[in-house]
Structure formats: C-alpha cells, structure tokens
C-alpha cells in the first residue's frame, strides 16, 4: 500500500515514524496510508525553511510574485488531477473539488499582487528634514495547520500569501486526505520556488506540538474546530508566536416574508448540502420569519431536494458525496435522531440513503428538519453534515437575537427584497461574514475571511489584506542626516 | 491626605477597598494615596462602559471625532496643570512633562482623522451584480493598562483611538502616579463624551485580573515590563480577548567612525538621560565601531555630561529628575556597582548626586560606563535609569550582531553619514523602530509604535494605522439582489 | 459706503481700480461696494504667495495641520457673524447659512488629517538593494475661483486642503457676496497662518484672466456655470496649469411606485427649495414612475409646500430667502412662464410671492410644475430657483434614460424601498453623485465631490481624497547605494 | 511589399487610405509599408470599441484580470518574436528589446491586481443610518497615442490598465515601427479578450485628430515630444476629454566629488548610450561638481566607451543600434557639430561610426562632449541620440539650479555616498523621477511614471496607481433606507 510522505527542502521524504490509514469514503476502504511525522522530521522541515529564509527574504518581491504567476498556471493545468485526488480521499464530487481548487487559485492570483500589497507608508518631513517610513518585513518561518474539508483551498488561503511576503512555510495538512495538498506543494518547485521555502509535513498531534513550541516558528495559522482552535491559539501565543485560529460555525439564514422564495430555495440548496455540509460556511439553519414564509420554504425546499443525488466523486451528475469517516456519519445521524426525539419534524430524511454499489460508503442523504428550537442538541452543535434545520420565529428581531446569542459568528445571510431590512441586518448582526441574498458569503480573495465570537481567535482575518498584515511585521524607520560637508562643499578634497 | 479615586460613568468615585501611598519622588514623601479598586468596582466600570456602548457605536464617526477635536483644545489649555501633576508624582521636569503631553496630544490629533481611518473597502461586481465590502466595526468594551513612566502619553496612545473607533474604554493607569491620568480623563467629559464611554479604575493586580478575565472586555492594550507583558498576553488570549502587550527594551546606538560626533553626542545626551532614562525608548547602549570612535565618543560625552543638572520637576533649568521609587534607585545603583565589579570603567559616576534640599529624593546622576561587555549584568538588563553604557566593537557587523542577539528589539539607531551603511542597517537589523541619526526613533502618531522580539507580543503595533485595526473588527458583507418586480415594472399596483 | 477690499500678504488692501455694487437681495438695496482688482493687484497677491511658498512648503505637515485645527475653532466661534454676512449679501436664511458654514468646517476637519493623507508609498527591494518611494509634494501657488451661492463653503472645499498640502493660495470669490469669504480668510491669520500663504482678491474677468495666464499659478479650481467652466478649463490647460472646473447641473429624483411617499416629499421639500434652489445639487426634477406615484407625489407635495415661508435672512422661521439678483429673479420667473406656455401645469405658483416689508426684494416663491416634458425650455436649463418640476414616465428604464441623456451628470436620487432597484440605478446611472432615498447626495468631506459629463471638467473631483491628489504632484525616488567602505570597514581612518 | 494594417473588432483589416514606408534603420531599406488610417477607419475602430463596452464593463473585474494573466503568459512565450519585430523596424539590439518587453510585461502584471486596485472607499454611518461609498467605474472608450522609441513598452503602459479597469481601447502606435505593437495586440485575442475591446489603428495626424475630436473617446494618453504633447493636451481638453500627455526630457546626473566613480561610469554608460539614447529617460547630461570629479569622470568614461559596439539588432554582442531615421541621424550629428562650434570639447566622437556591412544604416557612435555650457544649442535641446555631455560646476547648488532652470523635469540622478546630499537633492529638485545612484529612475510598474514642468501635461502620472485613477471615474453613492414595514413586522401579509 502506498504511503503518503512529506515534502522537505524540495524532496519527498518518508520517516520511520507511525502511519495511519487514508480511506476512500465512498467505498469505505483504506487504499493508502499517510506517514505521521516524528518530532525530528518536523524539525528537519523547520530547519530547511530556516536555511532558505535569508535568501528568499532578500529576493525582490516582484520575483517572488512571479513564482506565484507560474504556480497559477500549473494549478490550472492540473485541476483534474488535483480534483481526482480530493475525490478519492475526501469524497467531494469532481465539480465541487474543481470549485474548491478555483477558490484556492484566486488566493494565488491575489498573492501575485504582492508588490502593491507590501507597500509601506512614507512621510516626508515628520519634523524639519526628518523623514519616516514603514516597511512590512517577513516574519521568518511560519506554519499552517489545515482541516480535511478543503485540502486544496484552505492551505492556499495561507502559504501563497505567506511565501510571497518573503516567509518560508511549514504546512501540516489534514491526515485524512493528504494527497492533493502534497501534490499542490510539489507544483511550487516546478514554478521555480527555491527548495526549503515550502515544506509539508503530514502528521498528528505530535507534529502539531512541535510547530506550536519550536522557537523558530514565528506564526501559526489554523483552521479547524473551535476547541482545537482555542488550544492552538493559547499555546502558540504562550510560546511567543503570533497566531490566527479559525474555529467552528453555525450559519443561519433569515428568510423574510418578502423574500423571493424560489431564489432563496435555490440558493439554500447548494449552501446547505453542497460538499455534504462539511464546510465551515455551510448554511445549516434557516430561520423563517412568520409561519407563512416557513410553510412556503419547507414545501418548496422539500420538493427541490427530491432532485438531489448523493454518490461517488467521479460521477459528475452527483450533487454531493459521502462524509469523511464512518464515525462522522454516525455522529450526523445521531444529531438527526436527537432532533426527532426532541420533537422536531424530519421532513426529508437522509439517514438511510441508497447509493447503489457503495454499500460501505459513509453516505448521509440530504435532510430537512422543521420546527427546530434553540434548546435542541441538533441546533446547538455544528453538525457538519447535509442537514438543513428550519427554525420558526415571529419577527426579524427574534431571528437576529437567535443568531447573536449563538456562540459562533462565522457566516450568516438574510433573504429579503427590502433595502432597510438588509441594512439593519448587516449593521447589527454579530457575525463576521454577512450575505444579503447570498447564503455562502465567503469573501472573495481580495477581501479577508473571518468570523466573530468563538469562530475566530486573533485580530486579523485570513487571506486578503489582513493576511498580508498577519504574515509581515512592521518596521518603522526615522531618518535625519546631519549637516554635510559633501553637499555644502567644504570638503571637496575628499576622498583623498 | 487626599485619595485619588476612580472615574466611572462620568463620576469620580472611591470605593472602600485598599489604598496605597503615592510619593513625590523628589522629596521622598508620600503626599497622597490612591484607591486600589476592588473586583466589584472594576465590574461597575465595565458595566458602565457596556451600557454606553450601543449608543456610542451608532454615533456617526464624525461626531465621535468632534469630541476628540474638543479634547485636543482642552488638553492644550491644561498643559501646565497636567505637567504639574506629572511632576509631583513622577518627578519629570516640567518641560519634559510638557513634551510627553504634546506627544499624547498628537495621538488625539490622529484620532480626529477617524472618518478617513475607518473607511472599508468596496468592490463592485465581485461576481455578476454581486457587490462586497468591508466595515471596521468597534469591538465593544476594551481596556488599557499603562505604566508609570508616561502617565499622560501612553494612555493617550490607546483610549483616543479606541473611543473614536466606537469602543468604550476602561483604563487602569499606574498606581505610582495616577493623578495626571485621572485629570485627563475628566477633560473628556468636558469635551462632550457621553458618560460611561471612558472610565478609569486605579488599582493593582486585583483590578488587572478582572480586566483580563471579564467576558465583557474584548481587547486589552498593555505597556510595561516584558514579564508582565507575557502574563497579560497569555492570560488575555486564553480568555478569548485580543491583546497587544508591549514590554521591555534595551536600545543600542551604533556610532560609526564617519559619524558627525558632535551631533551624535548631542543627540545621545537627551536620549540616554532624558526622563532619567525611564523610557522604553531610552538609548542606553552606545556601540562604538573602532577604538578611535569610542575614544572620541567617551571624551566628548563625558565633557557634555558636565552640563547636565538633576533635580526637582519645578525648576525648568533641570535636565532630569529623580527615579520613580527608592527601590528603583537602589536597583539602578546596583547595576552600576555590578558593572564596576565586572570590570567596566565608570567614566562619569552618578551614584551619589548632590541635589541640594532634596536629601530624601530618589535621585541618580547621569552615569557613563565605558568598556561594557555583553556578559555583564548591566548589559543584559533593562536598567531604566540615567546610565549610558559604551560597548566597543571592531566592525559594524559585530555591532549589528550584538543588537540582533539581544532578547529585546524595541528601538535602535545608527550614527553615520553614509547612505549605504544606513540602508544596510535599517534593512537587516532585527528591531521594530529604527533611527538613522535619530536616537529616539519613536514613530510619529500617524505611524505605529512597536518593537520586535520580546519587546512586543501581538501582531499589531500600538497607535497609528495598526491601532485602528486593533480596535476594530472586520465585517465583510456580500450582497446580491434577486430580480425585482419593482424595477421591472410588473408590480405597479404594489403596495396596495 | 463701505468698500470690500482684498487680503494680500496678511493685510487688507484696496486698490484704485473699479468697484461694483453689492446688494442686499431681500431689500434690493446696494449697501456696500466691492473693489474689482486690477491686473497689478492680482499680481501682488501672486507675488506674496510665491514669496511665502518656500518656507511654508518646508514646514512639517503636522504644523500646517495645526493651523487648520485652530482655524476650525475660530470658525465655530464665529458662525453667527459669518452667517450674518452671508445673509446680508446672499439672502440665505441664518440656519441655512449656518449649515453651509458647517459643511465648510467639515472640509477643514478633513484637512486636519493631512499627515495621514499625504503619505507616499514605499517599496523595499524593487530590485536587489534598491528601494523606491513616492512623495506628494505641493504645487506652489494655486488659485480658486468660486461662485456666489456658497460664499463660505465652496472656498473651503479648496483652500484648507490646498494650504495644508503645502501650497499658497489666491482666492477670487464671487463679487456678489464677498464679505463672508473675506472674513473667513482673515481668521486664518489669527489661526497662525504665515502672511502670504492665503490671499483673497475680489474682482471680475480682469482678475480671473490674470489667474489663468500668470505662469506662477500652477493649478486652478473653479466652481460655477458650465460655459464658464469650459472656458476656465481650456484656458488654464492651454497655459500649462492643472485645472478642475465644476459646472452646472440638473438633478433628477426618480420616485418609484414603492417609495415611502411621505418620506420622499419631506426630503424633496428641502432639496428643491432650500437656499431658493440656488445650489448645484438642488433637486429640481422629480421623475415619477407611473401616474399613481405621480398623482400622490403632486398632491402631497403641494400640501406640504403650503407650510413653506420665504423671507429675509434674519427671521429664522423662514425656509428660504430671495434669489441673488433682480435679473436672476426675472430669469426664474421667465422659465416658469415658458413652462406654462409650453403646456405644463403650474400646480403651486411662486411667481408673485408676498413678502411683507420687502417689496423690492428679489423673491420667488416655491413653485411646483407638473407634466413637464423633456422638450420644454424649463426642463433643459438649470433654473437655479425654487422650482420643482415633475416629469411623468411609465417605467424606471424610461426615467433612467431621461437622466442619462441629459448633458449634466452632477447629482441624482432614487426613492424606493427595493434593494434591486436601488442597486441597478446606482450601478448604471451616468451621474457622479447618487442618492438612494437621499435627495442631496453631496459626499461628506472625507469623500470627494464631482459630477460626470458636462458637470465637471478634469479627472479629479473636488475636496476629499481627490482634492489631496489635485493639490500635490507625485515625485518618485529610486535609491541604490554603492558598496561602502564605511560599512565594510576598509576605511576606518576616515575622516581624518 | 507587405502592408501593416489595423486591428479592429478582433480582425486585421486594411483600408484603401494612404501608406508610408517602414524602414529597417540598420540597412536603410524600406522593407514594409504601413497603412495610414482614414477618418472612416478610425471611426470604425471607435464604433467597435463602443459596441464592446457595455458587456466588458459589466464583466467582473477578476474575469477581466484573468485575460491579463493569460496575456502575460503569451507575451513571455513570444519575447523573441516581438524583439525581432522591434529590431527590424526600430533597430534596437535584441537584448535591449527583450528588456523593453519585460518592462511592458511588468505593467501587465500590475494590471492583474485590478481587483485590489479598483476598490472604492466605504463609510458606514456618515450620518445616522446613512452609508456612503465610492466606486471607480470605467470611462468608456479611451485612446492611446504612442511613440516609436518603445513600440512594445509604452503601449503597455496604457492599454492593459485601461482595459482591466473596464474600458475599451483604440491605440494609434508610431507609424515608424508598427509591427511589434500590432503583434502584441493580437495576443490579447488569444488571451481571451472579447473582440472590440482592443483596437489598433496605424496612421498619422489624420487618425490622431479623429481620436482627439470624436465625442465617443473619453480619454487620451499620449507619449511623445513636448510640442505635440501640448497640442494633444489642449485639443483633447478643449473637446471635453481627460488627457495625460507626456513630452520631452533632458535628464541630468550630478556627479559629486565623493561618488563611487567606477560605479557612476558603469551606470552612466548604459543610461546615456543604451537604445542609442532614444529614451525619454536617457541620461544625457553629467554635471560634475568640481574639476577633479569632472576630470576623473571624463577620463574613466572615455576609456569605458572604447568597449562599446554599435551595430545591427540581431548581433547580441552589440550594445546599441542605429537611430530611427536618416533625418534623425543628421539632426543628432548636427547637435554634435554645433557643440564643437560653440566651444565644447568632443572627447569621444561618434559622428562617423564604422559599422561593417551596414553602410546605409542610420548609425551614430557613442559620443562624449566635455565642457558643455547651458548656452549651447546642444545643451538646450533633447538630442535623442547616443551623446553624453559633461557640464562642469563648482557646487552642488549650482548643479541643482541648472536642473531646476531647465524647461523639462522628467528624470534626474545624483551620484554620491552621502546621505544628506542625497536627501537634500531628492527633496528640492524640481523633477518628477529622481535617482540616487540610479541613473534611469524609471518607476517600477507598481509606482507611476511622470515628469514635472513641461515633461508632462496633466495631473495624473502614467501607469501604476495614478494610471488606475486616470482610467476610471469616481462615483459616490449615499444611501439611506426609510423605515421599513418589512423589518418592523407591521406588514407580514405582504406581498399578497
């Protein structure tokens, strides 16, 4: 069985540490293994990055950017191959994987603009003949720790920008679906990146803890669940690093009575069930204002859901695939069961999907639950499965209170035609990413991604302008020149 | 004896908690006491701030800015009074205190530009008929914890910007010299700030720990020593707050052989001994490159130091005053002793200054120590007293290595006439604030203040553009409107 | 009779050139005269400005900004006096004049942020060890030529920003109402502005032509009618100056069938009749979509207009005052007559207002004309009087076509509740300043003011960020230092 | 003989208008002809651009940027072919042509960052519940008119940025060397640009005058000589267009006595003679401060010049090629003659270069003239040939006065090691692009290009951030929503 290894100093390497199975979630079969890096292996990666730093940092930014221009070309040429690797290990349907890769490429495109993004501020005459300016210098070696659900995109939220800013990078991707990430990293070498600037170590907590404690690592970016995010954030900070840690979510859409209901249903369909709901921006709760809106929504949604098909990644007509593991399937089904037991109404039931030829796959069908209330377990938790819950409220204020009271504040959306309702919502909702008739309000790559409350720890958001600031440190220079014989002509004899 | 209390919800209050002496360091006499806030008192302040937040946040930014315009006027009208309060409790000479206040006012001037500073980024057509923009919204209630050495300026690095961004503030100033800070805070009310937006609690660790743990506090800015900064940073972060914590420093000036030596000595005089060296930007180590430069420097410096006079705050001809406490005086003298014992050469000895009429004052005279080496205790520590140490090296690279190896990276300076030396230095030195022939390279208020390495914990610097980012959270809105009967004219009968 | 003179080099001066009457438009009596500067006088002003430039340019920007901080204080202290001067010569009611002054002050507030606004862009390592940065340096002497309708505000769109950027200024205000402008300029001296930096010359075409041709004038800002704007723009450009020239307007509001009609009427009332409609942003055409909307609008508007009162400036209960001259009154009445003759319906007729005690005043009452069509004279021209015309169309597209086909493109507005209609409108309308339920969409001082099409000649808008760019020229410096004996230690003996 | 035609609406077309010879300047033979567009042909191009505009403008900016990403790839793949076309018609040596193309590509790289560059400014709550933001919308159809000396680079200063901003473009390149420009434009179609967005018309004044007068053209960018620039600027402005027109230059380098003389000579060699001195940034005057510096400079320079070789484009060991036309060769030689006659010293004489096998080529050899004075014809004019003149002065102030008194202010440079001299120079010199030890201080593509005085007419510089502003118009939207039944829940029955 093939073993997925590490990329250190430009070379694929394996160490003699532990390994772990990598499953194809559609078949339920472990077709590969992934190496779990030892402390020593991680330290080798860090050392390689550290060694590459001085020269990379001094490479003019336009040359660093040109590596990203080439990297974009290579990514575009390899979309199918990357999508296949994602499909095999994550289960995502090929068109969905291609979409993920495209979003990743957009971050590379943004990184190509580094010369503009890294400009400092220059002030002439802050005092008489005194000038002052700022430079945004790279940090050194920085690390990324990324989740299984976007093995291509989330790493590309991080390393292109970090690297183009002049840093060297050590990435620890998810051990569930490591192959696409590793493949992508290898393209960087082909794009002209010097060895050692980008390194990938596969692994688990052993590897993570080295990244969190080693003094050579200057910054850590993390995306994953909230409890882990909190651990990462506290540990990295206590070790003197800067850190941004993105955690969980529970994204609500308010459906107003004046909404264009067909449009809302259409939008919600992809936002709730796409990628089996395994997205931190998945729209998992629809809050309908007024029973009439709720009834219409539930009726139209259940009709529309009949057209959805769940299955393996390589059948493009499928809408979404399996969830990531057997355990996770059980957890999702458990939440549906608990909702049922706590009195909610299972309108469309995906607990026993029939996926022909994939009896052992980790499939859950699209599920719609009506009359969910905030006290239910299924409401409180981030289910991370293809489950859309409907909560019924009487007023928009009630809907907003629900959202503002939730511990998470990642994404949210309102469906309405009304300018005032939209503006009041976007102004006052305690959520970092807000959609107006846009159920997955993921900021484009030239803005920044980040939730509020317990969805993000740190003060700077991921990628975009905040990403640039995160991966650089400010240096402010103040300059005054004393009176000069050279200019004033008193020392023409010099130099003798 | 008068007791300095707290400012909560626009009112001066005292609680029945403990108190502590406030000394006049020139006389050594405790002339006042300061209240040390209980947990309950701090929570009252937080509650007042929390209550004031919703309305203040919704106040248009230009109106918030106008409070700062008025505040600037009031500060300028009260410079003498504030300087006197600083002098009485801190010991700083009146002209030096006036300078500190002026630097504080500059931060208020910067805050007046808030409408420009808070602009978000707007993108039309991020997709077909989809727009996206960012808003920088206030955090809520934020806290500042500030040191004794700049009781006026350092708080004004924080609260003007935090408040003008729409936050409410709880400030815990140093309990050593609380009166000027409290006085300044009261001017805000006169400037039109609504009650509760700005609050001051005097106190010690009891108060600090409430600020670090209370869930209503969203961010903490701290300036002080590195060990405390680390504690503050780790604790605040572990409690889910954002935090920036500025710590200690050991600022070196490289004196190159081509430097304009008279200019260098002139500059160093103020930078080393001003405010008794009790500044985190004090220039405490001169690294002379080549013995000739060292000899010239020591000779000219010791001559120049003869003109310095140490004494009480209210004699304007004095150059600097006492250090803050008796204990601190002993500590400073102890470092000089240790240097002497470890083989350094005490060229000018300030251990027994003669300040007539102030026998019990905490005075240390200006001290120059030559031939200091990196192993000495006096080199390693931040002395925070009027002591300039000279280290002799052979090359500029050796000088830079010394600086880069030090645990702190706050400020540094090079004295040279040579463009290339200056540029190489500013590019490669591992320090956040760099001076070229400027020994105190404190960034002006419209840039940002921050050291590197163990001089600052956090990713955003203090005040200036980084300060704005620190005191706001990014919200990104993505908007699409569904097809509209109103525009397309199909529903003219509406609304009936 | 008193003669309003010039302000040159800090002194009020009169020359022996021609003079012209200044009327009180409420009484119709010429109570003052204004000096009309000769070529020689204008050249004296330019020379004074030229002489003041080198020192003012080298004054650190924060010190220049502090003059503006003080100027703001003085303006606020003198609002009543300035408003009175405006009222006496322009006729504007005191509350309206106070509003104008406030908008002017907002430009001064923006100018106070100059240190931030003048930052250049710094790039480290544009090539190996090569840095590059931009500076925005002042132009030298610049001129402003301003109209009668905002004698306080429009000059303050220009000179505060020009001056704070380091330029010296020569202002030629309207000769109709020169006193408030001259008074304001004098406050600058009190605020600490060095003599010669700000100069005012009153005059007519003789003065204007000197400003357009003198080689020492580097830039001209103009606000007035379109034919004059075109002349100014072509002439200034042909003489090698940069120029921005703002001309006329014809601002339409679309009233959609879903609009909140009471709100729309309320808003339109002030936008159409405030300041007698003598504003380049006056809302003079309401385009109602559908007859039902039109009927409702006309009915509610005519009712609301009954509450309006026209009269002299010093009765605060008046809503608006006379127009500027007898000739202008005749012109406005002429347009109403022509509309009537061409078939429009005069719903409310202001041609013969009864203003007791002011029989000779230049008054026109609020006038509402329904069923206006694009062919009518009154539609094509900028009436600049208290006249609101209603055009009836069947669809929103028809309404937008009307606006897009008009030669002017200054301001426009839509009244609707519908998000999609608003967004389609703001995206596609060919107008520079767009309101959504805001009938006077004058950008705030920290944005920029400018129309499209024949409403503005030039590429940069007035005030705000564009104003800063207009009043500065970009200098780009690229710097590399050759290998240095000083740093590399080969020439330690230097300097001998 | 082949005829170089036009590119209109995606098709290569020829019209039946006049033609003109295109010479190979190395052989002196006209090997091709170029079509000179008639008025009708130009109007076809404008019409094609106008037709393509609505859809292109509405294409999301990231999609427009992706055309530029692809265009960059294609340019890089075709460097040799483009360089060959340049060499054949312009005479530039292949490595020099490749350098030109590279600088052009850098502008395409900058254009790829359009999503970031086009962001507007968003302000929440400019008043209570009122928001305001700016958008930078494209102008429509814009034109470029470009010179012979950079047939690839200068057009790429313009059209990539104009197009990525959403405009459609009509380019009129130089009729002397049209083939490389046309080839490049064709690559855009291959890169995915819709037909009509980019059009090329070859021609002369007939074509230019259409571009300057046709009302559909909204902006004109021009690079050429100052007299033509003035004509273009005045005419375009008088026709209501925005215009930036870059003219001539006379770029001086000050050589200070402390300069690294070997470095200075090395740098000057390329800056003076590269591309036969036919660059608007060519360094054509060296101002030596002090006779010692002058003597050293002249001696070292004349030695270095012996290594230069002039010849045909396709021999890579050549340093530079012929000048553009026979007439231009005569003009350059005439200036050398006049200098000789007016008393200057021809140190190295290139009037009769021996280029074997190219007897009829338009060659001038590298020429060094010492002891030039400001009164000489050769000093006053822009020679645009491989001629370096040395002026001797006694002080740096004298050198700076020389530069500041010249009518042109494009580029300049100082050679020194002294920080103070460099800073004084860059601060006070009246030139738009300043080098410190950099003789060709052409700003990188992410800054902007522009001279001062009579070297540029307009307020915005070419390419970079100013280019973005030039190719867009600002729209400011102010938005308030009236109280809403939808949000407030009073109209839940709606819509029925």
State the ipTM, two decimals: 0.96
Reported as a pLDDT band with limits 50, 70 and 90, residue C488 is: confident
How much is the pLDDT for A489? 64
Angle (CA) D466 D470 D471, round 5°: 120
Which residues in D14-34 are b (16+ Cβ under 10 Å) and which e? Answer: ebebebbebbbbbbbeeebbb
Instruction: Identify whether D191 is part of a domain.
Output: yes
**Residue D345 lies in domain:** 251-436
Dump pLDDT digits (tens) for A123-159.
999 999 999 999 999 999 999 999 999 999 999 999 9
Instruction: Identify whether C491 is part of a domain.
Output: no
Would you state the structure tokens that stand for residue B122, as one six-digit string?
Answer: 């707007």
Residue C444 neighbours by CB under 8 Å, 6+ apart: B62, B115, C106, D123, D126, D132
How much is the pLDDT for D486? 82
- Residues C221 and C264 occupy one common structural domain: no
Q: What percent of chain C has pLDDT over 90?
A: 96
The verdict on whether B112 is a catalytic residue reads no
Instruction: Identify whether B222 is part of a domain.
Output: yes
The pairs formed by D426-429 with CB atoms below 8 angstroms and a separation of 24 or more are D426/C475, D426/C477, D426/C479, D427/A124, D427/A129, D428/D400, D429/D400, D429/D403, D429/D404
CB of C411 within 8 Å of any CB in chain D?
no
- For the packed helices C179-190 and C79-90, what is the interaxial angle rounded to 10 degrees? 160
Q: What is the DSSP pairing of strand D452-453 with strand D408-409?
A: antiparallel
Report whether pLDDT(C493) > 80.
no
With CA atoms as reference, report the closest residue to C294 among C342, C250, C345: C345
Q: What is the DSSP pairing of strand D283-289 with strand B456-457?
A: unpaired
Report whether pLDDT(A17) > 90.
no
Chain D residues whose CB is inside 8 A of the B123 CB are 61, 115, 118-120
Dump pLDDT digits (tens) for A83-111.
999 999 999 999 999 999 999 999 999 99
How much is the pLDDT for B490? 47
Q: Kindly report the CATH number assigned to the domain that includes residue D322.
A: 3.40.309.10
Contact A343, A371 (CB under 8 A): yes
- Residues D274 and D240 occupy one common structural domain: no
Chain A residues whose CB is inside 8 A of the C122 CB are 119-122, 133-135
Contact C144, C155 (CB under 8 A): yes
How much is the pLDDT for C489? 65
Instruction: Identify whether B92 is part of a domain.
Output: yes
Are A447 and B123 an interchain contact pair (Cβ–Cβ within 8 Å)?
yes
Q: Please give the backbone phi and psi of residue B410, each rounded to the nearest 5 degrees, phi first.
A: -80, -75
Would you state the structure tokens that stand for residue C28, as one six-digit string?
Answer: 């119709």
- Residues C318 and C409 occupy one common structural domain: yes
Are B121 and D126 an interchain contact pair (Cβ–Cβ within 8 Å)?
no
Contact A471, A219 (CB under 8 A): yes
State the Cα–Cα distance between residues D161 and A285, nearest whole angstrom.
43
Closest partner residue to D417 (CB to CB) among B115, B121, B419 is: B419
Which candidate in B124, B164, B438 is best for mutational testing of the D interface (most D CBs within 10 A)? B124
The mean of the pLDDT values for chain D is: 96
Q: Using DSSP, state whether C127 is helix, strand or coil.
A: strand
Instruction: Identify whether C495 is part of a domain.
Output: no
State the Cα–Cα distance between residues A264 and A268, nearest whole angstrom.
6
State the Cα–Cα distance between residues C217 and C170, nearest whole angstrom.
9
- Residues A386 and A426 occupy one common structural domain: yes
Distance of CA C205 to the CA centre of its chain: 20
267-306 of C, contacting A, C-beta below 8 A: none
How much is the pLDDT for B489? 65
- Residues C200 and C344 occupy one common structural domain: no
Are B444 and C62 an interchain contact pair (Cβ–Cβ within 8 Å)?
yes
Report which secondary-structure segment, H or E, holds A443: none
Number of domains forming the structure of chain A: 2
How much is the pLDDT for D495? 33
With CA atoms as reference, report the closest residue to A493 among D301, B420, B421, D291: D291
C-alpha distance from residue B164 to each of B57, B448, B460 (Å): 9, 17, 18
Contact D236, D212 (CB under 8 A): yes
Which candidate in B486, B491, B494 is best for mutational testing of the C interface (most C CBs within 10 A)? B486
Instruction: Identify whether D431 is part of a domain.
Output: yes
- Residues B424 and B303 occupy one common structural domain: yes
| Per-residue DSSP letter, C411 | E
How much is the pLDDT for A494? 36
Paired residues of B245 in beta bridges: B222, B457
Residue of A nearest to D105 (CA): A66
Contact D207, D37 (CB under 8 A): yes
Dump pLDDT digits (tens) for D374-407.
999 999 999 999 999 999 999 999 999 999 999 9
Instruction: Identify whether B485 is part of a domain.
Output: no
Dump pLDDT digits (tens) for A158-201.
999 999 999 999 999 999 999 999 999 999 999 999 999 999 99
CB of B476 within 8 Å of any CB in chain D?
no
Are C479 and D126 an interchain contact pair (Cβ–Cβ within 8 Å)?
no
The mean of the pLDDT values for chain A is: 96
Contact A413, A251 (CB under 8 A): yes
Are B120 and D122 an interchain contact pair (Cβ–Cβ within 8 Å)?
yes
Q: Please list the active-site residues of D.
A: 280
**What average pLDDT values come out for chain B (496 residues) when binned by 10 residues?**
94 91 97 96 98 98 98 98 98 96 98 98 97 98 98 98 98 98 98 98 97 98 97 95 96 97 95 95 96 97 96 95 97 98 97 94 98 96 97 96 96 97 97 97 98 96 98 98 79 36
Are D417 and C484 an interchain contact pair (Cβ–Cβ within 8 Å)?
yes
Paired residues of D287 in beta bridges: D254, D391
Closest partner residue to D482 (CB to CB) among C417, C459, C481 is: C417
- Residues A153 and A263 occupy one common structural domain: no
- Residues A166 and A276 occupy one common structural domain: no
- Residues C422 and C376 occupy one common structural domain: yes
Q: What is the mean pLDDT of residues A266-273?
A: 95
- Residues B207 and B260 occupy one common structural domain: no
- Residues D234 and D274 occupy one common structural domain: no
How much is the pLDDT for B366? 98
Chain D residues whose CB is inside 8 A of the B60 CB are 125-128
How much is the pLDDT for D485? 79
Report whether pLDDT(D187) > 70.
yes
Q: Which chains touch D (3 or more CB pairs under 8 A)?
A: A, B, C
How much is the pLDDT for D489? 64
Q: Kindly report the CATH number assigned to the domain that includes residue D131.
A: 3.40.605.10
State the Cα–Cα distance between residues C112 and C44, nearest whole angstrom.
29
Are D418 and B419 an interchain contact pair (Cβ–Cβ within 8 Å)?
yes
Q: What is the number of residues in chain C?
A: 496
CB of B62 within 8 Å of any CB in chain D?
yes
Contact D93, D319 (CB under 8 A): yes
Instruction: Identify whether C220 is part of a domain.
Output: yes
- Residues C197 and C258 occupy one common structural domain: no
Alpha-carbon dihedral angle through residues A212, A217, A222, A228, given to the nearest 10 degrees: 0
Secondary structure of C343-396 in the HEC alphabet? CCEEEECCCCCCCCCCCCCCCCCCEEEECCCCCCHHHHCCCCCCEEEEEEECCH
Q: What is the DSSP track for A310-358?
A: B--TT-TT-SB---S-HHHHHHHHHHHHHHHHTT-EEEE--SS---TT-
Which candidate in C128, C137, C438, C483 is best for mutational testing of the D interface (most D CBs within 10 A)? C438
Cut 0.90: pTM above it? yes
Dump pLDDT digits (tens) for C307-337.
999 999 999 999 999 999 999 999 999 999 9
């Amino acid at each position: 069985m093939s073993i997925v290894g590490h990329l250190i100093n430009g070379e694929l390497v394996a160490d003699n540490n532990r390994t772990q199975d990598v499953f194809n979630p559609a078949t339920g079969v472990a077709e590969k293994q992934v190496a779990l890096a030892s402390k020593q292996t991680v330290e080798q990666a860090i050392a390689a990055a550290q060694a590459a730093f001085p020269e990379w940092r001094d490479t003019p930014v336009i040359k660093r950017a040109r590596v990203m221009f080439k990297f974009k070309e290579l990514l575009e040429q390899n979309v199918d191959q990357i999508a296949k690797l994602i499909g095999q290990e994550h289960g995502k349907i090929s068109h969905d994987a291609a979409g993920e890769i495209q979003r990743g490429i957009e971050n590379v495109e943004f990184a190509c603009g580094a010369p503009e993004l890294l400009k400092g501020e220059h002030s002439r005459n802050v005092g008489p003949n005194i000038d002052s300016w700022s430079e945004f210098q790279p940090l050194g070696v920085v690390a990324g720790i990324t989740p299984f659900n976007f093995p291509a995109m989330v790493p590309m939220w991080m390393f292109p920008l970090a690297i183009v800013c002049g840093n060297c990078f050590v990435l620890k991707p998810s051990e569930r679906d490591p192959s696409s990430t590793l493949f992508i990293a290898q393209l960087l070498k082909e794009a002209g990146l010097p060895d050692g600037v980008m390194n990938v170590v596969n692994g688990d907590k052993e590897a993570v803890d080295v990244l969190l404690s080693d003094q050579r690592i200057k910054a850590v970016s993390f995306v994953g669940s909230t409890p882990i995010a909190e651990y990462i954030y506290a540990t990295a900070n206590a070790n003197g690093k800067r850190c941004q840690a993105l955690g969980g979510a529970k994204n609500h859409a308010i459906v107003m009575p004046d909404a264009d209901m067909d449009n809302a249903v259409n939008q919600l369909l992809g936002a709730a069930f796409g990628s089996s709901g395994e997205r931190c921006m998945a729209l998992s709760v629809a809050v309908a204002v007024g029973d009439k809106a709720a009834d219409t929504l539930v009726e139209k949604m259940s009709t529309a859901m009949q057209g959805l098909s769940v299955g393996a990644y390589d059948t493009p007509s499928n809408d979404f695939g399996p969830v990531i593991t057997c355990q996770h399937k059980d957890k999702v089904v458990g939440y549906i069961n608990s909702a049922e037991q706590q009195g909610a109404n299972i309108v469309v039931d995906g607990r026993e999907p029939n996926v022909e030829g994939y009896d052992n796959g980790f499939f859950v069908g699209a599920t719609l639950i009506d009359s969910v209330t905030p006290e239910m377990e299924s409401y409180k938790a981030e289910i991370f499965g293809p489950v859309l819950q409907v909560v019924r409220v009487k007023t928009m204020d009630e809907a907003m209170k629900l959202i503002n009271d939730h511990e998470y504040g990642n994404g949210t959306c309102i469906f309405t035609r009304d300018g005032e309702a939209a503006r009041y919502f976007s102004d006052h909702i305690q959520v970092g990413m807000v959609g107006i008739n846009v159920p997955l309000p993921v900021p484009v790559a030239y803005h920044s991604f980040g939730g509020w409350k317990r969805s993000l720890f740190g003060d700077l958001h991921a990628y975009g302008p905040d990403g640039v600031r995160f991966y650089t440190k400010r240096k402010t220079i103040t300059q005054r020149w004393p009176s000069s014989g050279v200019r004033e002509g008193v020392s023409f004899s010099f130099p003798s």
